Amino acid sequence: MAQVFKFIYALIIVLSLFLVETNTATCITDADCPYDGKCIDGFCRFNVKNNNQV
């Protein structure tokens, strides 16, 4: 019985990864994207800048 619960729990975790990945913002122009996003191929893409350079 415990193995069934572990399997279901693992399945929920794996499926939630796909839900997070597919939740992207659609856009037409750069103004449609929040923050500093750019509209590329109809989806908002974000640039991550590394400010910890020495």
Q: Using an 8 Å Cβ cutoff, are 30 and 37 in contact? A: yes
SS3 43: strand
Question: Which among 26, 50, 51 has a CA at the least distance from the CA of 37?
Answer: 26
Token pair for residue 45? 């893409």
- Position 11 in a domain: no
pTM score, whole prediction: 0.41
Tell me whether residue 30 is in a domain: yes
Name the more confident of 39 and 49.
39
The conformation of residue 26, written as its DSSP 8-state character, comes to B
In a domain, 18, yes or no: no
Number of domains composing the chain: 1
Judged by DSSP in three states, 48 sits in coil
Structural domain harbouring 33: 23-54
pLDDT, residue 49, reads 62
User: Does residue 7 belong to any structural domain of this protein?
Assistant: no
pLDDT level of residue 43 (50, 70, 90 thresholds):
confident
Q: Is residue 38 part of a domain?
A: yes
**CA atoms of 45 and 29, how far apart (whole Å):** 12
Query: Is residue 45 assigned to a domain?
Result: yes
